Amino acid sequence: MDIAEVLERARDVVTVRATIGDPVQQDGMVIVPVTKIRGGGGGGQGHEGTEKEGKGGGFGVTSTPIGAFVIKDGSVTWRPAIDINKIILGGQVVAIVALLTIRAIVKARSRR
């Protein structure tokens, strides 16, 4: 597979249809899911002497839900997706900082 083929496949993967999902009708509402797509790729080749030659390339894509448009009674609203993993990670960071602060205060008081 050469670089042109990698780019062709990447173009086929990253489309508007992949970013905005198919509308879903439920309970008198139309829900249109939306995702964020990120991708990256690279390639290269090398030569050593007259016989040795190498080529390589690759492409990766990730998709993350970011929310949905909700259409109800002729009105459109945006409902963001909540990433519970970020909330949990933030809580853990706050807890660690609080524990380290308490430990520093206790050590400082015990030295008096």
The pLDDT tens digits of the residues spanning 47-106 come to 777 677 777 777 777 888 999 999 999 999 999 999 899 999 999 999 999 999 999 999
For residue 16, the model assigns a pLDDT of 62
Distance of CA 21 to the CA centre of its chain: 16
DSSP helix/strand/coil, 15: coil
For residue 98, the model assigns a pLDDT of 97
| 8-state DSSP, 22 | -
**Bridge partner residues of 57 (DSSP):** 43
For residue 82, the model assigns a pLDDT of 92
Instruction: Provide the phi-psi class of 28: left if phi over 0, else alpha when psi is between -120 and 50, else beta.
Output: left
For residue 33, the model assigns a pLDDT of 94
Output the CA torsion sign for 9, 11, 14, 16.
negative
The pLDDT tens digits of the residues spanning 1-22 come to 666 776 777 777 666 666 888 8
Determine contact, residues 15/67, Cβ cutoff 8 Å.
no
For residue 55, the model assigns a pLDDT of 77
Output the CA torsion sign for 15, 16, 20, 21.
negative
Q: Read off the pLDDT of each residue in 37-52 and give the average, rounded to a whole number.
A: 76
Domain ranges of the chain: 3-81, 82-112
